[in-house]
Structure 1
């Protein structure tokens, strides 16, 4: 099963306007926010991430509730976190 997982934007990569660093439960990764170009993603925003791409912006309350729910899924959540740990966008 593939899930979308919330992450908080912690850094905008100036040299690559479509890339940002996000924090997902303590894991930091670079993701692509090109699909949200019209929404103006900024540091502190929460985004819903799937396979290295931000699919939508969400508010912090929804992000935290989603993370709490995902943690209850056990293996599916752990599989998604493992995939995030193994991912890398340069």
Structure 2
């Protein structure tokens, strides 16, 4: 099963389409280029904002309440969520 998981933006890597995002304490670089393409004008994304992540890409910006609800639900899913967190921890796209 492949899941989209919420992550909180921590910082941005200069001169790239990458942002450091924290998911359950695991920080990884995530490509935010798809969000730039969707933005009508400059991308409105700052540290502390939440994004929905799938296979190393931020697919959409979400609000904190939606992120918390998703994390609560994902925690209850069990192995599928744990597998996603393990894959995220092992990944490195920098």
TM-score (norm. length: structure 1): 0.95
Number of residue pairs aligned between Structure 1 and Structure 2: 89
- Structure 1 residue ranges without an equivalent (≥5): none
- Structure 2 residue ranges without an equivalent (≥5): none
After TM superposition, the runs of 4+ consecutive aligned structure 1 residues lying more than 6 A away are: none
Give the aligned partner of residue 52 of structure 1: 56
Give the C-alpha shift of residue 43 in structure 1: 1.1
RMSD: 0.8
TM-score (norm. length: structure 2): 0.91
Give the C-alpha shift of residue 42 in structure 1: 1.5
* Bigger shift: residues 7-16 or 50-59: 7-16
